[in-house]
Every structure is written in C-alpha cells, then in structure tokens.
Structure 1
C-alpha cells in the first residue's frame, strides 16, 4: 500500500497532511527545517498546535514570551522539547543551531488557553509490553497539557521488536471501553537504511501492509495498527492523536489480546 507521505528534509516547511484528503478530519501535520538564523512564523486562528523539536536548537516567541528549546541531535538520543500553542496565537521560530527540525502538529480548535512549554523533564517515559514487544513510550502532550483535541508523543522500538501490540484500535466512541481518535505516525530508523513493517486492518475488508522507511508518514483514520522493525535497527515514531473527546482508551484486537493474559 502507498505511504501517506514522505519527508525529504528540504529547507523550510513541508506540509504532509494539509487537508482531509488522506482520511484525517482532525489532524494536520508538517515538518519544518531551518538553518542557523532563519525564521518561520505563523498565526493559526482556528488550530491548536504542538511544536516538537526533533533535533537541533531554536528560539520560539509566542504571546510576548521567548523560549530557548532543543538539545538533542537525534530523536533516538533523549526526550523532546515541545511547545503547545493555542488557537488565535502567533509564534515565531528562529534556528540557533546549524539545523533544527520541528514537527508541526495541528488540530482544529476553539478553546483559548495559554502557550505551554514542555521540557524534557516533563515528558513521561513508560516502558510498555514485555518480551519482543517491549517499547518505550514518551508522552509529550497528554494530561500534562491543557489542549482541546491534540495528544502527542514518541515511541521507540528496540531492534526486532513490535509496538502497538497486541494490536489496538481507537475509532469507535464507546466509552469506557474505547475512545474515538484519529492518529498519524511519523517514522525514523537507526541506522537510516533499515525498514519496519506496519499493518493497518479491521475485522472487515481493510487490510493494508506498509514497508516503513526513514521519514515516512502513515495516517490512521481507523483500524488496528501494529508496528515492527527488523533486527539490528531501531524504529522511532512520533504519534499524533486527535479526538473530540480527548481521552485515550484503545481496544485490543480480541484475536491477540490473549498474549497479555498469557504472560502475566
């Protein structure tokens, strides 16, 4: 199946999901690459935004405040800096390292709050799963941020491991059993010439298999969506979730849920 988008690392802003044509109604996504001293500014009247510093350093000005953000050279290196920008707020980014790459995650919103800086110490690390499906999940913007729809984080699989496993979905509004959330994954691999595998499926007709390369983007409007990586390589993905009810309640595929029960 065709990947939803590929980031080629060009200078400036690269929109990946800018409308609803790729199946997402509540998520917009792009990547920003700036060299030292270069500026990018934007006013999002109708969107809330989470800026995630992937690598490099920058200054971000918003609502009269200026923050110095970023410290890692790679997404595999340490926890991220991020900034939540509410709707009707402008922001200006200035690169202060030789290169800075930033993920720009957006969702339509009306709730006016204040900008919220997220430092690495505020990013919660969770070790999830066991055995060959252990992964490390970094919650960047979850219950620590007062947002309307967006939740953002990062996941890293060790070589040969799986994540989003047992396969889960979150596309039905059926609380307290399942919440309805769209999702997007942006991938990186270490070393970069490796690959991962992702299956997006339901119990009806949808069954899509993706070979994941460095800088690929996959949109997930619905369905179960496990991710694996070949031995010798790590896989990283930035995940962006959005829903009218900002509650994360996934539901495991009953066919594979026994794995967790068996190993407890």
Structure 2
C-alpha cells in the first residue's frame, strides 16, 4: 500500500492511500479513523459485506465504495484479476459512526452541473444525506477542455449558512492516461498554479480551487472532504459568480 497524503504533514484531517492488489491478494485494514475505500478498478470480495467493483476504471461509470466506521476490520481479496483501491480516512470528530456497508452505483446521486465549457458530471457517493460521521466523497468527470469547481468556490471559513469549513483533497485520473490538467488555488494572500497528471493528488486546505482539463483528455477527480459537520455550502468567488447566477 502506498501513502499519498499523511494527516499532520500534508493535510490536517484526511489521509489518503492507494493499494494495488494482484489476483488473489488480500488487504487487511483496520483504522482508528472513519474509512472510505473506493474500488477504482477490478473486483474485490469484502469479508462480511459482499462483492464490490467491476469497472475497468472511473471513466466507465459509477463504481463501488466501502464505508467503515472507526475500528471496523476490513478484508479485501482481489478476484478475477488485479484490483486498485483508494483509501481515505478522517477522524470521526463529533460525528456519529454509521454501519459498515458497500455503496454501489444505484446508491449514488449523479448530476450534470454547469454548462458549456464548464459542464461536468458529478457522482455524489457519500453526501450530506448519507449515513457517515464526517467524510464526504464523490467523483467528478470533466469532458476534455472543460473547467470544474467552477465558478471558483471555497469552503475554508465556518460561517453557516453562508459557508462551512471543509478540508478537501483531489485524486486525479485521465483518459487517455498521458493526459493532464491545471489546478489553480488562490485567496487574498496569493495564488498557485500547477499541472496535474494521472495519479496526482492536490490537498486543498483553503482558498478558491478551480481546475481545467487539457483539450483531448477526459479528467476525473475523486474528491474527499472532512471538516465542521457534513454540510456542503461552498462560497462562490463574487468576482466570478455571475457565470452561474446569470
């Protein structure tokens, strides 16, 4: 298993790992934090819960995700070929743990958002209305050349109902796999712009954070959030909110 983000070093709350399993290989996982394990590709048997997976990759369609509360022992076994699993964790905080379960394609909310060259498909896998303690998770699919997280928004200040504070991380996938995109982050103190490629991660503790896919390449980013409660109330950059508000 490879560590992508470490809480206390790269992030405040969210940990991120990826596991590549050969056919028949087993992964045993127990954490003190809440767990969301996303089957990116392949099929796994999950002891006590059932079978998860089946897609060749995120661009094929909605997949399967395993949720587990703190202390719950998970065992994954790859069947029928190799499998790749992304594991996100966060401390429970004041949240109430939910039952361990598999979240399948029919359990997700799929929405088309935006328009024109800022349209995208959002699969909300573990949203505010789903049983969980703290974690939120979904997948966003960008057509080639399109913008996402747009109009630019942020969620780094806890001022409900105007905005809630949520740390976020992105994990990027591209099709074809040699594609790339550009991630932007900015606030009143400055800005940064960097290229993202297949398998890259971006930790977003604060600021506005739009992202764009290069022409010719579909982009997917898995987004994980954790913070103050589980409401999602982003604050749009007033300079650019007109794009959405008309």
- Tell me the TM-score range normalised by the shorter chain: over 0.9
In the alignment, does 2:146 pair up with 1:161?
Answer: yes
In the alignment, does 2:225 pair up with 1:229?
Answer: no
The 4+ residue runs of structure 1 with deviation greater than 2 A are: 110-113
Q: RMSD value over aligned CA atoms?
A: 1.1
Structure 2 unmatched runs, 5+: none
1:142 to partner: Cα distance: 1.0
In the alignment, does 2:78 pair up with 1:95?
Answer: yes
Tell me which residue corresponds to 2:136.
Answer: 151
Task: State the Cα deviation string for residues 19-68 of structure 1 (Å, max 9, x = none).
Answer: 3111x211011111101110110211x2000111101000012xxx2311
CA–CA distance in structure 2, aligned partners of residues 58 and 117 of structure 1: 11
- Paired residues in the alignment total 244
Taking structure 1 as the reference length, the TM-score comes to 0.90
In the alignment, does 2:67 pair up with 1:84?
Answer: yes
Tell me which residue corresponds to 1:7.
Answer: none
Give 2:104's match in structure 1, choosing from 110, 119, 123.
Answer: 119
CA–CA distance in structure 2, aligned partners of residues 180 and 214 of structure 1: 28
Task: State the Cα deviation string for residues 122-144 of structure 1 (Å, max 9, x = none).
Answer: 11101000111000000011135
Query: Does the residue aligned with 1:179 lie in a helix, a strand or coil?
Result: coil
Residues 170 and 250, structure 1, Cα contact 8 Å, conserved in 2: yes
CA–CA distance in structure 2, aligned partners of residues 88 and 244 of structure 1: 22
Taking structure 2 as the reference length, the TM-score comes to 0.96
CA–CA distance in structure 2, aligned partners of residues 66 and 253 of structure 1: 42
Give 1:56's match in structure 2, choosing from 42, 60, 69.
Answer: 42
Task: State the Cα deviation string for residues 223-242 of structure 1 (Å, max 9, x = none).
Answer: 10001011111010000000
CA–CA distance in structure 2, aligned partners of residues 95 and 88 of structure 1: 22
CA–CA distance in structure 1, aligned partners of residues 71 and 46 of structure 2: 16
Residues 35 and 97, structure 1, Cα contact 8 Å, conserved in 2: no
Structure 1 unmatched runs, 5+: 1-12
In the alignment, does 2:23 pair up with 1:39?
Answer: no
